[in-house]
Structure formats: structure tokens, C-alpha cells
Structure 1
Amino acid sequence: MNTKFFLINISITLGLIAGCGDKTKPPGPETNPPATGAPVETKPANTNYKPAFTGQTRIGGISTTTAIQANVITSALSSPWGITSLPDGRLLVTEKIGRMRIVTTTGTVSSPITGIPAVNSSGQGGLLGLCLDPQFASNRMVYWVFSENVSGGTLTAVAKGRLSANEGSIENPTVIYRANPAANSTLHYGGRILFDQTGNLLVSTGERSNTSTRPLAQSVTGALGKVVRITTSGQPAPQNPAFSGAGALPELYSIGHRNPQGLALHPTTGDLWLSEHGPRGGDEINRVQAGKNYGWPVITYGIEYGGQVIGSGIQQQNGMEQPVYYWDPVISPSGMTFYKGNRIPEWQNNLFIGALSGTHIARLIIQDNRVVAEERLLAGENERFRDITQGSDNALYAITDAGRLYRIDKQ
């Protein structure tokens, strides 16, 4: 086992936040924004685009005052992509190549779990996000997202199966949903999955990156660039929003996403929050509401990798939602979770996001659905943080592309 320690014991830098709401909706009287310092982002932006409201980007920085400790409990994983906590405290992890493993909190890694349907692990594809059935203790059902080879290319697929009693295999694996149409691309699969409060599944899909498929994020007749809401059998969930337009898919929950790699439910409001990759600039955090359009590729705070504007080069349009927060330059936000433990009270209900190109874990303090402070954790580790979850012991567990599993907790 390779173990490192990361210690933090820093006082909050004093200073007043400039603002945390839009110009027409100031924070409510119950809001008491934290004192912040300079923004954590110091690099120049790729554009001169102006945010739609104060605090939409480069919010003031803050530091955790509680002494925390982060140790690498194993570095033996191979490109892990998704992580979730089992009822007994161990962790179930997907590896991009197409394997699942169980890891103990002391770093013991199981043999690969057999029975997983074949994945296409080229490019950004592979075995992606996963979640447990709320009744896992009795039914042992696991749900996961993967990139599947089909006629016409590849697509984002959702499967389920039962973890065997001896934990060596997935029994009766079944593909329950496919995000059509297929594309000749190995990019932008999205790939996160979670249960909502009604026992249905929310799944994020990407628009597959190609300039030919990119516009399909706005199409209601296809499942690319969407959040879909389905039952555990893969059917459209009851009470989904009805999108207008001929042939609108009944499983659609929101549209207009680029490559959403993070989903989390707020612990107190139950709202769905989502992270998505922008192009060159314009990574977003969105509060996803049923039936809403999040704009890609019509509006964006990013530009093409070659520097050209995207579409008409606009950032706002009626009928399209603004991100709660965006980054320029990008940090490549991936898996995320809200902290709902009691070990570090100042983290209560904060959002923690794995940053890939940013090589840190972003901590966002959210009040009144606005980001009011930002911190960068484990930035000195130089790791691409792919996903993060809270364990049953109230610690945070984060995986990196290099195969590390970190445990982050009060010192």
C-alpha cells in the first residue's frame, strides 16, 4: 500500500465577497455569505465573455479551517472511473477497461468481478459511472453506464445486474437503455447515473463531440447531450416533463448538455446538480430542472479548441438556462458529491467535484442556489481526479486516472 498524508490547517483569509446573486435577485435575508479572499483561479481566461450575473465565475476563494488528512489507501487500480460505497463501508469501483472491483477502506483490492458486458474502452469510452439500488442490502442490484459497440458506431448504454453472494460475478447482466443514435466517435459519453427520490434512475449522456452530432443536444428526438430519467427496467419514468416537438422522447429530463460527467442530489433540497465539460473554456455547474434547456451548443462561455467562436458566439438566449457557475480556463469537472457528513461541519452541504485537467478537488459553497466561495483541495498531488463519493464512515473517497484511491477526512 502506498500511503501519503496531506495536511491542511489554514485560517480563512478575511475579506468580503463582492456578490453572490444576479443583479435582479440579491441573496435572501437568511443568507450570510462567508468571508473570502482572491479567486482561486489566477490564469487568464480564453475569452472576454461577460458573465450573466455577479459570482457566476471566479468567485472568491476560501480555505478549510479544520485540519484534514488525505491518504492514498491504494494505487493499484487501473484507470478507475466510478466509485460508490457499499452498505458495509467497502467501495465498489469501475475501471475504464471494463472491470469492477471491491476495495476495502484499508486498501485491499479484490479480483475483477466477472459477468460485465463488453465495453469499448477506446478514447473516452469504457465502463463508466455506477450506483447501487436503494434496496441493495436485500436485492444486491447494481446499475452502471458503459460505452457499447453497436451497428453504426458506439453509444452510451445503461445496464444492471445482481452482485453474487460471493461477490465474484454480476448475475443476469441486462442492458436496459441505449442512448440513440449511435455515432462513429469514442468521445463525450457523459456516463453518470444515480437514483432520484422516487426510485427512478437519472443518467447523463454526452453529445459525442462530432460537429455532426453536436446539434443533437438540442434535438428532442434523440438522447445525445441529455439527462434521461428512466425506470429500473429502462422505460421512461412516470411524470417526466413533456418536451414539445414531433417525436419527442418520453425519457428526456433535460436537454442541451455537452459532456456531463457529474451528477449529485443536494442533501436538503433534493435538487439535481450536474457538472459538464465545456470546450476551450466554459466548464459548467448546473442546477438541473425538469424540462429545461441548458443551451449547448447555441450558448456557451467557451470557444473551439482552435480559437473560433462556437455558433453565433452568444452566451445568453431566452428559453435557455444559465449555468450556476462556470470556469474559464477549464478544470474538466467530473464526478461529484455533496458532503453530508458530520466530521467536518464547515463542509456541510458543500459540493465536491473531481477536476481532471485542473488536477484538484474543487469545493464549492452554495447558498440560495449560487456559488459563494471556492476552494481547491489536493492540488499539490498533481492527479486527475475522476470521481468522488462519501463513504459510510463520513469520509470522502476520491479516485484518480492514475489508479489512486484517496481517503479524505478530519485529521
Structure 2
Amino acid sequence: MATLSNPWAMVFLPDGRLLVTERGGALRIVTTAGAVSAPVAGVPAVVFAGQGGLLDVALDPGFATNRRVYLSFSEAGNGGSGLAVARGTLTLDGGGGRLDGVQTVWRAVPKVTDTRHFGGRMAFGPDGMLYVTSGERHLGSPAQSTAQTLGKIVRIPPDGVLPAVADPRPEIFTLGHRNPYGLVFATDGRLFSSEMGPEGGDEFNLITSGRNYGWRIVSEGNDGEVLPRHATRPEFAPPLVSWTPVIAPGGMIQYTGTRFSGWQGDFILAGLVQQGVVRVRVTGSTATEAARIALGARIREVEQGPDGAIWVLEDGGSGRLVRLDPA
């Protein structure tokens, strides 16, 4: 299989190859046989520091005709670094490819000096809007501020054009998040996220417009002090599942294939600390952990292949792309 430098995210192209991001700033085309292209040209400059760099990659719903690709990344600016989203048109060639017409369509505000908790996961909704997770940059209180987009899940039009409103920011969809690293629209149209907790308290959440998920007022984990639990403040949306000790969830999918018998409809979460994947089953408005599959490595990302196989990216400087099949 392929080996990459700090891989973070991947998405399958219609031809069966993958676009894979490396946090250092390279976007690569990778075959399922393990061939890795030269970096795709035209990728925006990133700040590769701490947890920042080139993060998620998503295909426009109309990719088959418009060839448009979206990237999330940390960029430099006044006051430090911040999460941004850009889009461009992908042209493939024998050596890799290039992005043309690249434009930044959204920036988190404000920029800060801390290099943790960028979030950066993207998902297109049934409404055609782009949803993006924005971490609170390890600062806590910005997650509750409606004048900032830190600690939020935001919703933006694909071209990024939003009303010029300072407070509340018009793109805020939900608030009170710490560092969401998974974001999936389920087959029933509902939105789910996975989120890293502090000392315990990782979360799997049903995301509902306008809800406040409580960080840093409540948590199922602690943060250098014992924090109140969600049950003490019912105005905050509690997680459907929480984990203590942590699994440190990375990317997430809902499995829709048939290759893994009995898994259809379950959510598969990459586990960094868990060093494998975690399967979560949702039934109506409740959810439970169904299984854990140990893989012996920190898993950053998970994706479903066209044939129903599951692919994962290992975290780190020599992270492998690995195909998983039923035992």
C-alpha cells in the first residue's frame, strides 16, 4: 500500500483513484495499488505547525461536470493562523494534476497564535450547502461567542458569499464545540459529528441547527478541572455517545456497502488513541458503540471504497493507506 507524509484526509475520484491530503501542504493522487503522484499544483500555501496544515478534501456534488475540489487548511494572517476553505478546478495529467482558478471561499475568525484544534472537516448537505467544522483553537470560551466562528459548525454556500453581519455570524449552524474531526450526512439526511473531548469526553453528536453543544461550560470529560456534565445543564445538547477513556476520533463515515455483513448504516470512526476504528450504531434518536476493530496504529481517516471495502489512513510521518476487508 501507499506510504505518505502526515496524511489527513482522502476522497475517491470517479475513476477509482483517491485524492489524499498531506498536512505539509501536498495534495496527491493515489491509486488503490499504492502508486503516489507528484503533488498537485496550485494548492494554497498552508501553515504546517502543531495540528495545522492541509486538512480535508471534498468533491463538489457536481464534480463529474465541474471538476471542482474543496480544500480546508490553516493559513497565515494577522494575529496568527486560522482555518480557511478554498476551491479550485482539478485537471488530471500523467504526473498528477493541477488546481486552476483557486479562490478562498471562507475563513474562520479570528486568527490566533495557538496551533491546535483547527477542526476542518467538510461535508456537502442535501441543501447543496457546504458544512465545515471549526475548532475552538484550544481556547475554550470562543466556542460560545456568536461573533466568532471558532468552536462552531458553519454552513456556507459553495461560493462562500454570505451576508455582511458581524454578530451573530450568519454562517454559524451550531456552537459550543471543542474540536470536531468527523462530519457526515447520513442517508436519512441527518447530520452527525464526532468530536475530541479534553481529559475524557469524546463525543458522537446528532447536529441540529441552532443547538449549543456546551463546550466549555459542560463536558463529559475534564479540562484541568472537573467540568459539569451535560445532565446538569439541559439547555445544552448532550452527545449520543461519549467515551472516557478517549478514542480520539478522527474522520468518520456512514457505511453503505454490503461487503461487511451487518454493518450497513453504521458509522465508522477513525480512532487515534484507540489505534483502530470504532463502529457506532444509530437507532432513531439513540446510539451505541457496536464494536472496536484494533489495527495497531493511530488511524486518522476512514473512507468507503467503490466496492464496499473500507480504507484507512494511518497518522504520522510515514502513514500508510490500508485497505480493510472482512476477516
Please indicate, yes or no, whether the TM-score normalized by the shorter chain is above 0.5. Answer: yes
Equivalent position of 2:138 in the other structure: 209
Provide closer, same or farther for how the CA distance between residues 164 and 337 of structure 1 changes in structure 2, counting only shifts above 3 A. same
CA distance in 1, matches of 2:166, 2:53: 33
Equivalent position of 2:101 in the other structure: 172
| Aligned-partner residue type, residue 309 of structure 1 | V
Answer yes or no: is 1:152 the counterpart of 2:68: no
Q: Secondary structure at the match of 1:192?
A: strand
1:52-91 aligned at under 5 Å gives the runs: 73-74=1-2, 76-91=3-18
Equivalent position of 1:188 in the other structure: 117
Q: How far did 1:122 drift? A: 0.5
Equivalent position of 1:240 in the other structure: none
Equivalent position of 1:283 in the other structure: 202
Answer yes or no: is 1:315 the counterpart of 2:230: yes
CA distance in 2, matches of 1:314, 1:324: 14
Q: Secondary structure at the match of 1:182?
A: coil
1:117 to 44, 51, 65: 44
2:299 to 366, 379, 385: 385
Q: Secondary structure at the match of 2:86?
A: strand
2:172 to 228, 237, 252: 252
Aligned length, in residue pairs: 321
Q: How far did 1:370 drift? A: 1.7
Q: Secondary structure at the match of 2:287?
A: strand
CA distance in 1, matches of 2:216, 2:289: 28
Q: How far did 1:394 drift? A: 1.7
CA distance in 2, matches of 1:162, 1:408: 31
Equivalent position of 1:219 in the other structure: 145
Q: How far did 1:139 drift? A: 1.0
| Aligned-partner residue type, residue 276 of structure 1 | E
5+ residue gaps, structure 1? 1-72, 238-244
| Aligned-partner residue type, residue 254 of structure 1 | T
2:309 to 378, 386, 395: 395
Q: How far did 1:255 drift? A: 0.5
Q: Secondary structure at the match of 2:262?
A: helix
**Conservation of the 8 A alpha-carbon contact between 1:118 and 1:148:** yes
1:297-312 aligned at under 5 Å gives the runs: 297-304=216-223, 306=224, 308-310=225-227
CA distance in 2, matches of 1:173, 1:309: 45
Q: How far did 1:246 drift? A: 8.2
Q: How far did 1:168 drift? A: 1.6
CA distance in 1, matches of 2:166, 2:7: 40
Equivalent position of 2:262 in the other structure: 346
CA distance in 1, matches of 2:249, 2:219: 16
Q: Secondary structure at the match of 1:115?
A: coil
Answer yes or no: is 1:328 the counterpart of 2:244: yes
CA distance in 1, matches of 2:282, 2:106: 33
Q: How far did 1:409 drift? A: 2.4
Greater RCO (Cα-Cα under 8 Å, separation 6 or more): 1
**Conservation of the 8 A alpha-carbon contact between 2:241 and 2:288:** no
**Conservation of the 8 A alpha-carbon contact between 1:100 and 1:113:** yes
Q: How far did 1:318 drift? A: 3.0
CA distance in 1, matches of 2:198, 2:92: 44
Provide closer, same or farther for how the CA distance between residues 371 and 191 of structure 1 changes in structure 2, counting only shifts above 3 A. same
Answer yes or no: is 1:228 the counterpart of 2:134: no
Q: Cα RMSD between the aligned structures?
A: 1.6
Provide closer, same or farther for how the CA distance between residues 151 and 246 of structure 1 changes in structure 2, counting only shifts above 3 A. closer
| Aligned-partner residue type, residue 279 of structure 1 | P
- The structure in which a higher percent of residues are strand is 2
5+ residue gaps, structure 2? none
Equivalent position of 1:106 in the other structure: 33
Choose 339-348 or 291-300, whichever is displaced more.
339-348
| Aligned-partner residue type, residue 136 of structure 2 | E
CA distance in 1, matches of 2:179, 2:326: 33
TM-score w.r.t. the length of structure 2 is 0.95
**Conservation of the 8 A alpha-carbon contact between 1:355 and 1:386:** yes
Q: Secondary structure at the match of 2:42?
A: coil
CA distance in 1, matches of 2:162, 2:280: 32
Provide closer, same or farther for how the CA distance between residues 182 and 349 of structure 1 changes in structure 2, counting only shifts above 3 A. same
**Conservation of the 8 A alpha-carbon contact between 1:229 and 1:236:** no
